[in-house]
Amino acid sequence: MSSRGYAVASFGLIAAYCAFPADLRWLPYLLATFAAVPAVAIGLRRSPAGTRLPWWLLLIAVGFLNAGNLNWAWFVYVPPEPIRGHLASAALYALGYLFLLGDAVMIVLRRGRRDLGGVIDAAITSLALGGVLWDVVFLPFHQAANVPAVEQGFLFTDVFVMMGILGALLRVALVDRHLVAVWLLAAGLATCVLANVVSVVTADPVTGALPDWTNVPFLLGYVCLGAAALHPSAVLITEPGPAPADDLTAGRLMFLGLMMALIPVVGGGRAMLGLAVDGVLIAVGSAVLVPLVMLRVGRLAAQRRRAEQALVRLATVDLLTGLPNRAACLERLATELATDPGRQAVLFCDLDGFKPVNDRLGHAAGDALLVAVGARLRGAVRETDLVSRFGGDEFVVICHGDDPRAAVEAVCERIRAAVREPIGIAGDQVRVGLSVGVAFAGPGATTDDLINRADLAMYQAKQSKALGELSLAHA
């Protein structure tokens, strides 16, 4: 069965519903709603293993909704006089919408996992608007018609849940516009919301009787749900979608605050005008929206912190070796000279034999060699010492202590032992040397002075360089 064929057949049943005599319209109505069950079941079977949970939830939701339809049809068409708003149907519809919520949550968590912030924004907006819709449209009708409180509670749940689902699905659909299955699911929810609004607006406040045409939006909702499961894009619905920009701006924060305050503000305005106000809506709305807004703000703040940390890392860390870069090295040396002068030693290290390895084995092997040398240098110094990649094949080590000369002597011995060991690169064993110039901080020493003296000493050490050896010179 294709989604197009299913839609054509379903629209035929909707046309039949409108054309049938009033006392027989329950037949095409139930056929149209029950047609969604095999459609969703076929879509479930087509989905790859491990991705079927959303479709199982949708299948259960459609099952509960159809059970409610059966119960409704029985009490409307079988008794001599129709029975209004049977409680069992309301309960079954509420269960169906809750499973539909679970289906939407699973889709959002999988398809929209890279855009959870945007999805939360959409849910907050739609829930706030749903609360206003309840206060302005549904509540006045219920009070005028003396609808029982339990039935009001079920419909309140339906509207609130459907609006939350609709907002989240619309966000996923808008971010990934070619995913027709999500658009169809959102359309199904939108028609259900519309159908509930139409039912309230057109119902007789005394008898609760509805014109038969008001069932058409409900039927269109079932068609959309079944077509969503059958559409070819349904197999992509649980794959991660794109990640749009999600910035913490003043406008976004103001908008979230406005949505959080919308239900209480509307309720307060209605109270000032002497109109009916639903205290349960204000309590439930606040209990749902406030945590969502706080979660959203928390996510945005965490995202800002991660971005700042990434910028700091880019500015201070060498991306190849993971060692501090030139800027971080100079900042560390300047700080130590300012806070504890005269106890520093700088080792300016230049790799000997790097170019032949790079030319013979390739740039990837050269990068791997730099990473390996950086790791060996890091393993040869103390925890309090700093090893940085200064640039190219140059490394700078900063030693700090009460006796920097003794510290340098011990560090150089460990570096010498590390250099003598060959390094496995690209399936080959290579040997490199290290020319090291050492400069010690004296009274009034500056960063540039220490680095320049250590650099000059390194060039002296290069005069006796040898592979597999440490060549050392002091400034």
pLDDT tens across 268-287, in order?
787 787 777 777 777 777 77
Q: Which residue carries 């040398």 as its tokens? A: 373
Q: What are phi and psi of 202, to 5 degrees?
A: -100, -10
Helix or strand run (H / E) with residue 470: strand 470-474
pLDDT at residue 358 is higher than 80: yes
Mark 232-259 as b/e (b = at least 16 C-beta within 10 Å).
ebbebbbeebeeeebebeeebeeebeeb
pLDDT above 60 (res 365):
yes
**Sheet of strand 433-440: strand arrangement:** 386-391, 394-400, 344-352, 433-440, 470-474
Q: How confident is the model at residue 376 (pLDDT cuts 50, 70, 90)?
A: very high
**What pTM, to 2 d.p., does this model score?**
0.60
Where residue 206 falls among pLDDT bands split at 50, 70, 90? low
Closest residue by Cα to residue 470 from 378, 350, 368, 324: 350
Lowest mean pLDDT, pick from 102-106, 225-229, 357-361, 404-408: 102-106
Position 86 scores a pLDDT of 64
Q: pLDDT tens digits for 134-179? A: 888 887 877 777 777 777 777 777 777 778 878 888 888 888 788 8
pLDDT classification of 205: cutoffs 50, 70, 90: low
pLDDT band at 438 (very low <50, low <70, confident <90, very high): very high
Predicted local distance difference test score (pLDDT) of residue 413 = 93
Q: Could you tell me which residues are beta bridge partners of residue 472?
A: 436
Residue 350 has pLDDT above 90, yes or no: yes
Contact 176/111 with Cβ under 8 angstroms? yes
Q: Stretch 244-272: mean pLDDT, rounded? A: 78
Write out pLDDT tens, residues 9-33.
999 999 998 888 888 888 899 999 9
Q: Which residue has the higher pLDDT, 385 or 305?
A: 385
Mean pLDDT, residues 385-404 taken together: 92
* Alpha-carbon dihedral angle through residues 107, 113, 116, 120, given to the nearest 10 degrees: 10
**Mean pLDDT score, 227-246:** 81
Buried b (16+ CB within 10 A) or exposed e, 287-322: ebbeebbeebeeebeeeeeeeeeeeeeeebbbeebe
At residue 339, what is the residue type?
Answer: T
* Tokens, residue 344: 């520093």
DSSP string, 241-289: ---------HHHHHHHHHHHHHHHHHHHHHHHTT----HHHHHHHHHHH
DSSP result, 175-194 = HSTT-HHHHHHHHHHHHHHH
Residue 1 predicted with pLDDT over 70: no
Has residue 415 got a pLDDT over 90? yes
* Tokens standing for residue 394: 């140059």
Tell me what percent of the residues of the chain surpass a pLDDT of 90. Answer: 31
User: Cβ–Cβ contacts within 10 Å for residue 444, how many?
Assistant: 9
What's the chain's average pLDDT? 85
> For the chain, how long is the longest CA-to-CA vector?
111
Q: Is the pLDDT of residue 431 over 80?
A: yes
